Every structure is written in structure tokens, then in C-alpha cells.
A = this chain, B = another copy of it.
Amino acid sequence: MHTIGTLARRTGTKVQTIRYYEQIGLMPEPGRTEGGQRRYGDVDLDRLAFIRHSRQLGFPLEAIRELLDLSDHPARDCGAADSIARRQLREVETRIARLQALRSELERMIGECRGGTASECRVLEVLRDHSECLADDHDAIG
């Protein structure tokens, strides 16, 4: 039997985060002591490790919910798990592409600034006027 603090330490999770996962139904309601403190078993430890590792790989909690559900039903077809992972891969690829475009714009504007006053600053000029950019689109803010 583990306390919430032990689970936290063993998985690198904040205690509040574990309670949050319980609140949104990702972690089960564990047993309690007479005094009302949570006590977990090894199954819970594994489940939390699964959640945390999935988060480290960037999966959103809703995807993790589905992945846990599949993991809980070993006889089901794994197609759903694979398609969630592929969706996540596409998401990561999209973000990389967007960030690479941002990187070149940033490099360019930094490289072009020769210092001086704000009125002469190339960085500020570019920010004022998107037509100074090479890319003709960098939507999808974030």
C-alpha cells in the first residue's frame, strides 16, 4: 500500500496532479484509511506511470483515457491505439514544421538588425509588417 506522496515520488508527479487525475476520472478513487487518507496499490502505480509516460510523449489526456481503456481490455484489437499514436505523430510533425518556419523568420530578423534606436530596429519593423516576412503565412498561433 502506497501513500499519495509515495506515488508522486515514484512517478515524478505532483501530489495535486494525482488528485486532479482522480477528479477527472483518469485515476480511480483509491481506498482510504480510517482518517480519510488515500492508499494505493501497485496497479495504481502502474496506471499513473502509464499516464505520465504518455504525457511525456505529448498525448493529450483525452487520448490517454482511450489508451488506458484499451490497455485495460487486452483482448480488443489494437488498431485504435495505433491510430491514436499516428494522430499524435501527425500533430507533432505539424508543430515541428510550424516551429521551423518561425525559427527561420526569427533568425532572419535578428540577423538583419544592426542595432541603434528602436525606430531603426529591424525586429520591430518586421513585427509591424508581415510583408517583410518570407513566409506568406504563419497562422496557427500558439
Chain A interface residues toward B at CB < 8 A: 12, 46, 49-50, 52-58, 67, 70-71, 73-79, 81-82, 84-86, 88-89, 92-93, 95-96, 99-100, 102-103, 105-107, 109-110, 113, 115-121, 123-124, 127-130, 138-139, 141-142
Contact = CB atoms under 8 A, between A and B. Distances in A.
B113 A103 contact: no
Nearest to A141: B55
Nearest to A120: B78
Given A95-B99, A105-B57, A106-B57, A82 B50 contact: no
**Interface of A, helix, strand, loop or mixed by DSSP:** helix
B86 A127 contact: no
A50 B100 CA distance: 21
Contact of A49 (B52, B92, B128): B128
B96 A100 contact: yes
13 contacts: A49-B128, A53-B127, A53-B128, A54-B127, A58-B99, A58-B142, A67-B124, A70-B124, A75-B118, A75-B119, A78-B115, A86-B110, A89-B103
Contacts of A105: 57
